[in-house]
Amino acid sequence: MTRDSNKDKSANSMWGGRFATGPDAIMTAINASISFDQRLYAQDIAGSRAHAAMLAAQGIISPEDATAIRTGLLTILSEIEAGQFPFSDALEDIHLNIEARLTERIGEAGKRLHTGRSRNDQVAVDFRLWVRDQCDAAIAGLTALMQAFLAQAEAGADWIMPGFTHLQTAQPVTWGHHMLAYVEMLARDRGRFEDARRRMNECPLGAAALAGTGFPIDRHATAAALGFDRPTANSLDSVSDRDFALEFLSASAICATHLSRFAEELVIWSTAQFRFVKLSDKWTTGSSIMPQKKNPDAAELLRAKIGRILGATVALFTVMKGLPLTYSKDMQEDKEQVFDAADTLMLALAAMTGMVSDMTAQKDTLRAAAASGFSTATDLADWLVRALGLPFREAHHVTGRLVALAEQKGCDLPDLSLAELTSAHPGITQEVYSVLGVDNSVRSRVSYGGTAPDQVKAQVTRWKAALGQG
């Protein structure tokens, strides 16, 4: 795209006769937003086309003017997409840049386009349309990532791995169960974007500066033309609302937190100390000095992305927190935050989908790790309650003594002899060994949502149906 660097003070004729002189260079620099809000060009042109068609349908402008406006806007759209549009800082923003170019191309008809609207409702509808598109993109990206996790879950529905609390071995679980935990998280993320999209799908166009307009416009027509469910119901709120952007950022921050958590697991799991997964060369880099290194840089960078998205969220909340109704120029600071957060989130979703699809779980290593760290201690305590009728707190103490004994002997619980087990409680029988193996442990977790392979397979089937893969 080309750019007009002319800072001539008389260049901005859009202000009319109120100002005798134009802004100086510093004011132009702080006031102009065209360097970033030109990104809204498609939404601005779509809104203007809908507005012009409505004005003609209502008899506010002539059909000939409406046709000229439509043709001119489509030509401008082509210019922008071809990188041939002369953007100008002197015209401040995308709205004035397009309107000035339209008037330059079609003459007086271009000046009639702004009838019955203001830049306040114009930017509100443009930005809302853009954020709505980003919600759709996030929903699609999350669906793809959920499918990648689901494929991993289905492949490893009965693979044994350690489950952790405090990053220490807790109980045996299945690989499929661990993968499905992220499917559940991402489903909540997707639901937040879907919910935010529904709530933002009201059209502020026609609210004008803040009080509505005296022209007989049809706001329901423009709302329908732009794919909104309805027009907004209060003109003051219409031009001052940025909840839709805050909700998008909030949903993005929570989603990025989930992505960061799994990125952290990938970093840990791919170390030589864990060796739970392997990532291919697509998602790793080497070292400039240590030839043996295979660094999970993509996961590490993704883990850091939450900082940018969370920062954008805090920044926009800070901008909005003290603004009286209705529009204030502060709100020009909304877009860069949302643009950056959206770009960052879409990149993170795509990268994570690639890594999850690419990673190879090391089945034997996972199983060996699950059998260590006294991971069946809870199964032993549960058996003492079921078989011997001990209160759980007493069973917990008995199990703790046996864990200490195994630790002293340098073995795991299933390796203790029956005599050693009965030294902690005389009622223990040979039957206890049926619950001490990791396979028996995971098979026993049959409660709904548990880690038993049959439960995992049932959840995989449920999610495949929900994602249209059934």
Catalytic (active-site) positions? 166, 287
Residue 310 CB partners (closer than 8 Å, separation 6+): 253, 256
Around Cβ 386, how many Cβ atoms within 10 Å? Answer: 11
Closest CA to 455 of 200, 174, 212, 256: 174
**CA dist., res. 376 & res. 403, Å (int):** 10
Beta pairing partners, 278: 360
Residue 79 is which amino acid? E
- The closest of 231, 283, 259 to 125, measured between CA atoms, is 231
Cα–Cα distance, 45 to 53 (Å, whole number): 12
Length of the chain: 470
Cα–Cα distances (Å) from 446 to 150, 171, 452, in that order, read 20, 14, 5
What is the distance in angstroms between the CA of the first residue and the CA of the last residue of the chain? Answer: 46
Residue 72 CA to residue 219 CA, distance in Å, equals 23
Scan for tokens 């305590």, then name that residue. 381
Q: How far is CA 16 from CA 10, 11, 19, 384, in A?
A: 10, 11, 7, 87
- Tokens 């952790």 correspond to what residue? 164
Are 229 and 201 a contacting pair, CB within 8 Å? Answer: yes
Tokens of 228: 């909104």
Which residues are 169's β-sheet partners?
Answer: 164
Peptide bond into 326 cis (omega under 30): yes
Alpha helices in 210-358 (DSSP H): 219-225, 235-240, 243-269, 297-320, 335-358
CB 8 within 8 A of CB 21: no
Place of tokens 């779509």: 46
- Which amino acid belongs to residue 274? F
- Relative orientation angle of helices 243-269 and 335-358, to the nearest 10 degrees: 30
